[in-house]
Amino acid sequence: MIRLRPQHLLSFVAIVLVVASFIAPPGGDEPRGVASLFAFADSQFSSWFGVLAVFAFILGGASLLRTHGRRVRRREGDWKYSIVTLVSFLVVLVVGLGKFGGPPGLTGDPFSPEGWLTRIFSSVLSPLHATLYSLLAFYVASASYRAFRIRGWESSVLLGSAMIVLVGRIPSIDSWTDTWPTVFGFLRMEAWSLWLLKVPNTAGQRAIMIGVALGIVTMAVRMISGLEKGQGGRK
């Protein structure tokens, strides 16, 4: 008798999903015959993934409580920050689950404007996110000043590209350059900026994407065939 192992489940699901992708009718037409069976399985597996993802949240929450709880108990380094993490986590969890201030019940919207969760979001999370992100502008300015220097030909190319993109993204620049005589058309920074993004950038990005995709295909084949032993907790 064949004993069902996680590897068999992984291989079966992966093969079904790969086949479903390859035999799907082009142009988004309604699949027929065997293709409809695979399309149905594809849709069901995608939905089941959502259920699994919900359980992952529970695991994540439990892991957070365990890790930070242990750090506080043992007074490990930066344990005071762990208290902040635990208190924030529990407060938001209780407020969200209890739907305080908003419509109650299972179908009540936890994100209603009058709910406490929305208030926490707009009064705490939003300003904190905005503050941290806005600091980037200062670091970018300082880093640009230091990094973009004519040290060699590579750094000069980097500097030139950065300057073209920076200047090309300034609004109204195309309105100004529209008034230039045609003979100076080659100096239009916004056209150079777009060219840099559309041609050299696309070429580089595609090269990276194809390389990464080939790596993913290789890894997927190894996982499906059982050659890859790292997943599923196996050593």
Q: Is 179 in the site for another protein (CB under 8 A)?
A: no
Which stretch, 41-49, 66-74, 83-91, 220-228, contacts another protein (CB under 8 A)? 41-49
Looking at 39, 68, 116, 223, which residue binds another protein (CB under 8 A)? 39
205-224: burial string, b at 16+ Cβ within 10 Å, e else: eeeeeeeeeeeeeeeeeebb
Q: Is 194 in the site for another protein (CB under 8 A)?
A: yes
Residues in the chain: 235
Nearer to another protein, 27 or 233 (CB): 27
Looking at 6, 8, 15, 21, which residue binds another protein (CB under 8 A)? 21
Q: Tokens 């995709």 map to which residue?
A: 213
Q: Is 76 in the site for another protein (CB under 8 A)?
A: no
Q: Is 125 in the site for another protein (CB under 8 A)?
A: yes
Q: Evaluate the CA torsion angle 170, 174, 180, 185 in order and state its sign.
A: positive
Looking at 63, 201, 225, 231, which residue binds another protein (CB under 8 A)? 201
Shortest distance in whole angstroms from residue 166 CB to another protein: 5
Provide the binding-site residues for another protein, judged by CB under 8 A: 21, 24, 27-28, 39, 42-43, 46-47, 49-50, 53-54, 56-57, 103, 107-113, 118, 121-122, 125-126, 129-130, 132-133, 137-138, 140-142, 144-146, 148-150, 159, 162-163, 166-167, 169-172, 174-175, 190, 194, 197-198, 201-202, 205-206, 209
